[in-house]
Homo-oligomer: A and B are copies of this chain.
Amino acid sequence: MTCGGSAPRDYEAKVAGGRALGDGSGLLAVECEDIASAAEPGQFVMVRPGSCGDPFLGRPLAVAATSGGIFKMLYRVVGRGTELLVSKRQGDSLVVRGPIGRGFFSSRGDMPLPKKVLLAGGSVGAAPLLFAARRLGMAKVAGVSMGVSGRGWEGFAEWLKESFPGVALFSDDGSVGTKGTALDGLPCQLPADTEIWACGPQGMLRALAAKYPEDRARIRVALESRMACGMGGCLGCVIPTARGNRRVCVDGPVFTAEEVLWNEFAD
């Protein structure tokens, strides 16, 4: 159960800037040398968005990019925690715990990188994939397929196109890109030298595992789960895997689609 990476730390960090992407999504840049220099794609931070005792728990948000002593997060407003992020301005302080977990690279252990990687994401699941694309280098990225729910996500879609030139874009209602899901942008057969790295809603990841029943070992998914501690302590975030319960926060959040026992849990 001991975690390979190093345990996260808590920082009182300053907001370096933010950018609204429309309809409750946005980017937030935070000054934190330690996290920015150590984070890898797929890792995340726990952000305490308030300035007081409530909301009580941190909110898990993936690291979407790093540059210099700054890291960025991509958020979507879901409830009161993320709502508080919208009003953050440069200079505001923010308590963050991180970087947390095994990302797309460290979760491989000694396994070499594949020749090609297909990136597949749903809405803000784009965050770790963007970071992964940067680290992989565009030459290795065989394709990017992204899905959003549709109307209201136009601003976000623009940002996706900016961030992933050539992205295949899908939406549930067809109002943005092609009607369909991120899965529709993926090949029927997964080429032997290729892996899929994915992040998005559980339903999408489940469908992805179902689409390639034979190739699940070559699919890496960054999972979500309700979390209290983000340090492996509470056992609140476990998911059932072939090796028993595993903590999404520090044993993951990146797992292979093969490890995860998709049928034994529902959101």
Contact = CB atoms under 8 A, between A and B. Distances in A.
A80 B50 CA distance: 13
Interface stretch (A6-14, A52-60, A168-176): A52-60
A53 B50 CA distance: 10
B51 A84 contact: yes
A50 B84 CA distance: 11
Contacts of A51: 50-51, 84, 87
Interface in A34-61: 50-55
Contacts of A52: 50, 52, 54-55, 80, 84
14 contacts: A50-B50, A50-B51, A50-B52, A50-B54, A51-B51, A51-B84, A51-B87, A52-B52, A52-B54, A52-B55, A52-B80, A52-B84, A53-B54, A54-B54
Contacts of A55: 52
Interface in A77-108: 80, 84, 87
A52 B80 CA distance: 8
Which of A51, A80, A84, A87 has the most CB atoms of chain B within a 10 A radius of its CB?
A51
Contacts of A84: 51-52
Nearest to A87: B51
A87 B87 CA distance: 13
A118 B177 CA distance: 74
Nearest to A92: B87
A28 B54 CA distance: 24
A52 B79 CA distance: 12
A87 B88 CA distance: 12
Nearest to A80: B52
